[in-house]
Chain A
């Protein structure tokens, strides 16, 4: 029997924890395209981040009857041409937002705008990181921003991208978004 292939995409701004999230979902079985920074950047200095993803992060989960491919998009705009390629035929999107960035709600609108078509035919969950460093904007602000973009009743969670349990919660909520019947039949 031929195996079905499914795809899940994780996206968000630079340094939000996408690579960590892919590793968490795939239990560390990760193929990444990390490169050492060669340019100076205030943002990078603030995060003490030495590497960045230039193509994508990739992990796979093989199960009976199918394989789930998990892709983490590169965070920098200049690698934006990869985003359409990665989302093609995807099941859903996990969007990670960094609350300590200068305008996180603008980031949200930006990413929702980019992936609008993809979100319309799949599922979306939003994970907000670093809320302990800066509590505002609050989750209700994210929900309101999503409502304005025409996305309602979407799960928005405060998470720590380093905690596998938190990433799993995002993934579980996404699965319930993709197939609502899971909530009823998974007894």
Chain B
């Protein structure tokens, strides 16, 4: 177990800029190739953001989770240094308390999000400057090709008093919350962007290939109405989704599941689909069903789901999708395509999202695109995207509405927009129809909120 010298050399060659303080990192137990990968990703966040430090001074410790006896070593390390630990490995560890786990393959987004969650990064000036430039209407550095665009949050306070050393973790956490808002478990940190600007819009997308949510989504599409049971094996852990009884079970707990959702899965999960009429199969990489002979049959008599949880299967499917997307959209999602729901989502049994009822009502009433939904409801983009992710994961959207729909939709949105700006919340005193909506709005906003 050694602190890698390449990693040390690479970051030491680019010391923190004068006046800013880099976050001190220590990486332990990694091989050269893994460290190169880690190092290259950390470089993307600016060359003055991080510095290598010995264990005794480290603010964040990266540890190789694939080392034998990893849990024991970490326990011992904690006696020397109490700092946040990020374990990077191919298999999730549930027996190590209070660590962040990142699973291979590692992506810059997940790495950065994890770092932001646990430590303030005062040395990270690149993103802050871009954000400030954007706020002032100037071209962000990334748009001019100065540095790569990364979808990361920004520490405004940190940029104002650069050079100030934030050593108290409680103060640092407070600063983080002030600047980013409390981390939204489901909608991440993603900032609202100008959706008319292709460069900014690019930031809200992520490539879903390899993510657990994408495997589940493909399975649900393949199964269609025949769905009865989906059996997902990730390494040696299983998740069983009983879609008929709307239950889920298996030996994977929610914490472990969440860790598996932070990035694409390193190994493809084995998925078995078992239909109501005895259809048995597995999902290929292309999302097609392949019949697999000789698998155990599933019927009412054979109870596969012995340890089912109180939460519903649709809850866990939606939650996995939210964990994977974290306020972003799957690549290829058109924000201008009108959306319409097949039926109302079972909202009491789904993860709680702000404005979910409002958006469900909207998408039930009339086809309405994501961009229009944001405009009409006034909700944050990431909240709208999060609810879209939930509905999409449960295959609730009607296939593309007819071509004529967008024209009608535009008219409708225009009508709503004019209503918003002219007679917003002003009931017509002459008409009882005007009094009722005002009363209902008061009910919604004051009593039944």
Contact = CB atoms under 8 A, between A and B. Distances in A.
Nearest to B362: A183
Given A4-B439, A63-B447, A156-B344, A187 B246 contact: no
B361 interface: yes
Max chain B CB contacts within 10 Å: which of A63, A175, A186?
A: A186
A179 interface: yes
A68 B445 CA distance: 15
Contacts of B448: 25, 168, 171-172, 175
Contacts of B9: none
Contacts, number: 125
A172 B378 contact: no
A143 B345 CA distance: 12
B437 A181 contact: yes
Given A135-B245, A176-B361, A183-B361, A63 B420 contact: no
A141 to B, nearest CB: 11
B365 interface: yes
Contacts of B379: 187
B377 A184 contact: yes
A135 B313 CA distance: 12
A83 B79 CA distance: 70
Q: What does DSSP make chain B's interface, helix, strand, loop or mixed? A: helix
B442 A65 contact: yes
Contacts of A179: 436-437, 440
Contacts of B348: 157-160, 163, 165-166, 169
Nearest to A170: B348
A153 B377 contact: no
Nearest to A175: B440
B218 interface: no
Interface in B286-339: 310, 312
Given A4-B432, A25-B448, A185 B419 contact: yes
A185 B425 contact: yes
Interface in A137-181: 138-139, 143, 153-160, 163, 165-166, 168-169, 171-173, 175-181
Nearest to B429: A1
Q: Is the interface of A mostly helix, strand, loop or mixed?
A: mixed
A24 to B, nearest CB: 10
A135 B247 contact: yes
Residue in B359, B435, B437 with the greatest tally of chain A CB atoms within 10 Å: B437
B227 to A, nearest CB: 11
Interface centre among A159, A169, A183 (most CB of B within 10 A): A183
A183 B344 contact: no
User: Of B246, B359, B376, B448, which is in contact with the most chain A CB atoms at under 10 Å from its CB?
Assistant: B448
Contacts of B284: none
Given A180-B361, A183-B365, A184-B362, 8 more contacts: A61-B443, A65-B442, A180-B365, A182-B437, A182-B440, A182-B441, A186-B441, A187-B378
Interface of B: 244-247, 310, 312, 343-344, 346-349, 357-362, 364-365, 376-379, 416, 419-420, 424-425, 432, 435-448
- List 6 tightest A-B contacts by C-beta distance, closest first: A187-B378, A176-B361, A183-B361, A155-B344, A135-B245, A183-B362
